[in-house]
């Protein structure tokens, strides 16, 4: 069902974002290519969320250019996103997924089967008829993943999907993310959890104060970081 | 307090005239709120979600119209519906239909203004998520109205309170005709001026009781709904 034209690679060319006098992203140039998950890491406020939003296409840069598969202003049908604090619609868990399917243009007859399939995929089949807002934090995050998958995306953006979850819920979310990546969906994820980056990343984009300090394959980044900031971060020391 | 006792007697005795008045009042006010909701809910959501030149002006006007004087609305509808008025051919002046229209006009700004505020606040929360899901403008309106449904119950109650309690418009466009367009509020005004304080008092008690019962029902519906939908 995927459109023939790919949104990959996503190319950032000299992209800056300013909010008033504050520079959030400072002349970023970056290629996000097909393959294993791209993980954005860096301290809070380094611009991870802003970069994710730009990639998703729900934010326009102050200057510079972003292209998706060579096209600027690609419509975004093939991209989906899970926010750090996803908004649960005031209806049941399965109705949330059905809503996303409808928004993605799925025909009514196929929706019921797809809802069941997606709920199973994120391990929420037993929670289908619960009000979404009554689910636990981890369950809400998994429901948000199911909603994002309903769009049948080529690229899935995740903004700190486990930021406030306990280890068990974090593992559940990571397992799902891994299986999504294995099914051929390009994952672009922001996290400040270096352990999570080690577990999931194919390549690492290390951001410090709105600039790309380093972009490298995960093994390279963790074994021989090229910049002093990255070395500090990999050691587990605080990068400010 | 002999008046109070007779009022209670009237209510408990099931006076048929009283019941006819109560029925008409409810019928007019509930219909007016339903009609106003049909216009006011989408109008409020539209004002909350769509940017266009003159929007701020319209928002201020709608907010200000929450305080429209009922007698003025009554007069305007009277002029529209009177024999020589532009809608005089309808021949509905001094009928319950005219009263419903007039009360709906009074209630629309209340529902639209409160809906706009509710939807605007909810949109702040939902904007990113719905944008990422690429939900179109029309679906946004219906989604936000549905997800705000429990808050909007209170909005409708505010509208109903206004309709049920006002006397100015229904007096002017209804004419307070015995057995045809007499409502609780016009009857209270009439009985008070005639000096029949027991009947006026009885009607007043009934009116207040009905408003409390309707609010209690709405509260119950809201609680049950929230329990099932979160």
Q: Where are the domains of chain A?
A: 88-152
pLDDT digits (tens, 9 = 90+) for B58-73: 999 999 999 999 999 9
Contact between chains at A87 and B129 (C-beta distance less than 8 A)? yes
- Min CA distance, B114 vs chain A (Å)? 20
**What distance in Å separates the CA atoms of residue A175 and residue B10, rounded to the nearest whole number?**
72
The 8-class DSSP code of residue A207 comes to E
Angle of CA points B223, B228, B230, to nearest 5°: 80
In the structure, what pLDDT confidence band is assigned to residue B3 with cuts at 50, 70 and 90?
very low
Q: Name the residue among B128, B136, B108 with its Cα closest to residue B42.
A: B108
CB contact under 8 A, A86 and B129: yes
pLDDT at B230: 65
Q: From B128, which residue of chain A is nearest by alpha-carbon distance?
A: A58
Helix (H) or strand (E) holding A25, with range, is: strand A22-32
Phi, psi of A125 (to 5 degrees): -60, -30
Q: Is A103 on the interface with B (CB under 8 A)?
A: yes
Tokens, residue A201: 């990343």
Phi, psi of A39 (to 5 degrees): -115, 125
Residue B152 with chain A: CB contacts under 8 Å: none
A80 touches chain B (CB under 8 A): yes
Instruction: At B142, list the tokens.
Output: 């219906």
Residues of A in contact with B140 (CB under 8 A): none
| A214 SS3 class | strand
Q: Measured between alpha carbons, how far is residue A36 from residues A53, A70, A122, B104 in Å?
A: 20, 20, 20, 60
The partner residue sitting opposite B229, judged by closest CB among A131, A147, A151, is: A131
State the Cα angle at A187 between A185 and A193, rounded to 5°. 150
Distance, in Å, from the CA atom of B181 to the CA atom of B94, rounded to the nearest integer, reads 7
Is B230's CB within 8 Å of A134's CB? yes
Backbone Cα Rg of chain A? 18
The domain limits of chain B are 19-185
Q: What is the pLDDT along chain A (240 residues), one digit of tens a residue?
A: 455 689 999 999 999 999 999 999 999 999 999 999 999 998 888 999 999 999 999 999 999 999 999 998 778 889 999 999 999 999 999 999 999 999 999 989 999 999 999 999 999 999 999 999 999 999 999 999 999 999 999 999 999 999 889 999 999 999 999 999 999 999 999 998 899 999 999 999 999 999 999 999 999 999 999 888 888 888 877 776
HSE of B208, CA atoms in CB hemisphere, 13 A: 6
Q: How confident is the model at residue B2 (pLDDT cuts 50, 70, 90)?
A: very low
* Chain B residues within an 8 Å CB radius of A81: 132
E strand or H helix at A216, and its extent?
Answer: strand A211-217
CB of A59 less than 8 A from some CB of B: no
Q: What pLDDT, on the 0 to 100 scale, is given for residue A74? A: 76
pLDDT at B14: 72
Identify whether the C-beta of residue B144 lies closer than 8 Å to the C-beta of residue B119: yes
In the structure encoding, which two tokens stand for residue A60, read together?
Answer: 């326009």
Q: Which of A226, A229, A149, A236 minimizes the C-alpha distance to A197?
A: A236
CA atoms of B197 and A3, how far apart (whole Å): 77
Q: What tens digit of pLDDT does each residue of B166-182 get?
A: 999 999 999 999 989 99
- The dihedrals phi and psi of A215, each to the nearest 5 degrees, come to -135, 110
* E strand or H helix at B189: helix B184-194
Please state, as a whole number, how many other Cβ atoms lie within 10 Å of the Cβ of residue B132: 25
Q: Mean pLDDT of all residues in chain B?
A: 91
**Is there a contact between B126 and B31 (Cβ–Cβ < 8 Å)?**
no
Q: Which residue is listed with tokens 């690229």?
A: A155
Q: Which residue has the tokens 């250019």?
A: A65
Please report residues of B whose CB lies closer than 8 A to that of A147.
Answer: 133
Torsion of CA B190, B193, B199, B200, to 10 degrees: 80
Radius of gyration of chain B (CA): 20
CA distance B149 to chain A (A): 9
A171 and A19 Cβ atoms separated by less than 8 Å: no
Residue B40 has pLDDT above 90, yes or no: yes
Question: Could you tell me the sign of the dihedral formed by the alpha carbons of A92, A97, A100, A102, in that order?
Answer: negative
Cα B125 to the chain's mean position, in Å?
29
The tokens of A132 are what?
A: 């979404």
Contact status, residue A36 vs residue A197, Cβ threshold 8 Å: no
CA dist B65 and B54 (Å) reads 16
Q: Check: CB of residue A46 under 8 Å from CB of residue A208.
A: yes
Sign of the Cα pseudo-torsion (B79, B82, B88, B91, in order): positive
Q: What does the block give as tokens for B58?
A: 């319209």
| Fold of the domain spanning B19-185 | MetI-like fold (1.10.3720)
Look at residue B9 and tell me whether its pLDDT is greater than 90.
no
| Residue in B129, B131, B142, B144 to test binding to A, most A beta-carbons within 10 Å | B129
Rounded CA gap, B220 and B230, in Å?
15
Burial tier of B193 (Cβ tally within 10 Å: 0-12, 13-18, 19+) = exposed
ipTM: 0.89
C-beta atoms of A58 and B132 within 8 A: yes
């Amino acid at each position: 069902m995927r459109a023939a034209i790919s949104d990959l690679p996503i190319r950032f060319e000299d992209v800056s974002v300013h909010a008033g006098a504050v520079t959030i992203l400072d002349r970023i140039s970056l290629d996000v290519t097909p393959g294993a998950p791209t993980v954005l890491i860096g301290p809070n406020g380094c611009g991870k969320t802003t970069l994710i939003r730009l990639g998703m296409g729900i934010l326009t840069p102050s200057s510079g250019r972003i292209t998706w598969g060579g096209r600027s202003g690609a419509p975004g049908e093939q991209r989906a996103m899970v926010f750090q604090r996803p908004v649960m619609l005031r209806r049941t868990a399965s109705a949330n997924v059905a809503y996303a399917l409808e928004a993605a243009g799925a025909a009514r007859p196929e929706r019921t089967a797809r809802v069941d399939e997606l709920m199973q995929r994120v391990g929420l089949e037993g929670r289908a008829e619960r009000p979404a807002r009554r689910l636990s934090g981890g369950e809400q995050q998994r429901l948000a993943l199911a909603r994002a998958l309903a769009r049948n995306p080529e690229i899935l953006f995740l903004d700190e999907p486990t930021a406030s979850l306990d280890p068990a819920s974090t593992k559940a979310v990571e397992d799902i993310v891994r299986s999504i990546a294995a099914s051929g969906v390009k994952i672009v994820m922001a996290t400040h959890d270096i352990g999570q980056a080690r577990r999931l990343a194919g390549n690492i984009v290390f951001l410090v104060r709105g600039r790309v300090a380093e972009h490298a394959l995960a093994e390279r980044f963790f074994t021989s970081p090229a910049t002093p900031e990255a070395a500090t971060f990999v050691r587990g020391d605080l990068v400010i | 307090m002999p008046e109070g006792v007779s009022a209670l007697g009237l209510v408990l005795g099931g006076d048929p005239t009283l019941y006819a008045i109560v029925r008409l009042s409810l019928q007019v006010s509930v219909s007016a709120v339903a009609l106003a909701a049909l216009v006011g809910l989408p109008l409020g959501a539209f004002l909350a979600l769509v940017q266009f030149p003159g929007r701020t002006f319209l928002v201020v006007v709608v907010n200000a119209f929450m305080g429209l004087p009922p007698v003025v609305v009554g007069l305007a509808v009277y002029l529209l519906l009177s024999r020589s008025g532009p809608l005089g051919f309808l021949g509905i002046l001094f009928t319950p239909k005219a009263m419903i229209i007039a009360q709906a006009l009074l209630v629309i700004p209340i529902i639209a203004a409160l809906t706009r505020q509710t939807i605007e606040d909810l949109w702040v929360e939902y904007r990113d998520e719905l944008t990422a899901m690429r939900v179109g403008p029309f679906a946004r309106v219906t989604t936000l109205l549905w997800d705000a449904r429990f808050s909007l119950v209170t909005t409708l109650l505010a509208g109903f309170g206004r309709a049920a309690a006002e006397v100015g418009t229904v007096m002017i466009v209804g004419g307070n005709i015995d057995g045809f367009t007499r409502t609780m509020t016009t009857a209270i005004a009439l009985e008070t001026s005639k000096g029949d304080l027991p009947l006026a008092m009885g009607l007043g008690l009934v009116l207040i009781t009905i408003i409390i019962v309707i609010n209690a029902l709405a509260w119950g519906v809201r609680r049950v709904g929230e329990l099932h939908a979160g």
